[in-house]
Amino acid sequence: MVMEKPTTALILAGGKGERLRPLTDNRPKPMVLVNGKPIIQYQLEWLRDNSINKAFLLTGYLHNVINDYFASQPVNGLDVRCIKEKSPLGRGGAFKHGYYEAGLNDSLVYASNGDIYTNISFDDLCAVHSNEQAMATIALTPMVSQYGVVDTNEDTVTGFREKPLLPYWINSGAYLLNKETIELFPDIGDHETKVFPDLAQEGKLAALKSHAFWRSLETIKDLDIIGEFLNTNQN
């Protein structure tokens, strides 16, 4: 089977980032700077280096900030455009609206949250989607405990582990979506409420389990962790 790769990305970029204030008082969350560059730009460059040649940023809050930035500082090799929601549509509604508003007819697209940083293997994600003949594929990342764990043997403490990995996987917010799946998304609402559970029941939802670096930008601590990773792993 020939592995299909998408050439178009839909990226949610309208988040307010309440917990990141005051950094988000004058910019949407995906535009928060990490080591001097908007976090969404790292994702765009990562997509550009894979098979993506068009990216549609699905904006809302402070649309002009993100639109003006990429109009004046384009990503070389990538056609970046913004599509503004007139009112909040939810994640699933935003993906569906963006797909049709952009006039797309792609059989497969990459879709994601705009406030994440990851270096998962794009090829592995596409391979799983093709091999499983899925209607949608989710990139999963290990769940990390929010707290340190105390190991015991009956009533004796035997050790401590600082925020270990738990035996669960969480949604990274990065997907491959068939056109037929986007058509099922609600006009307003979330795709994980009904569409994804229904696909899972039908055996049409695949998953890539990846131990690659992943972080969602929710707090100042996340900002520091992503920045430290970049300092260590990028030239």
Give the pLDDT confidence score for residue 217 in this predicted structure. Answer: 93
Give the pLDDT confidence score for residue 136 in this predicted structure. Answer: 97
Give the pLDDT confidence score for residue 235 in this predicted structure. Answer: 55
**Whole-structure pTM value:** 0.90
Give the pLDDT confidence score for residue 1 in this predicted structure. Answer: 61
CB 9 within 8 A of CB 56: yes
Task: Tell me how far apart the alpha carbons of residues 65 and 85 are, in angstroms, rounded to a whole number.
Answer: 14
The CATH class for the domain spanning 8-140+171-233 reads alpha beta
pLDDT by residue for the chain (235 residues), tens only, comes to 678 899 999 999 988 888 888 888 899 999 999 999 999 999 999 999 998 999 999 999 899 999 999 999 999 999 999 999 999 899 999 999 999 999 999 999 999 999 999 999 999 999 999 999 999 999 999 998 878 888 898 888 898 888 877 889 999 999 999 999 999 999 999 999 999 999 999 999 999 999 999 999 999 999 999 999 999 986 5
Give the pLDDT confidence score for residue 165 in this predicted structure. Answer: 79
Give Cα separations from 5 to 12, 47, 182, 206 (angstroms).
20, 11, 17, 15
Give the pLDDT confidence score for residue 109 in this predicted structure. Answer: 97
Give the pLDDT confidence score for residue 140 in this predicted structure. Answer: 97
* Domains of the chain by residue range: 8-140+171-233
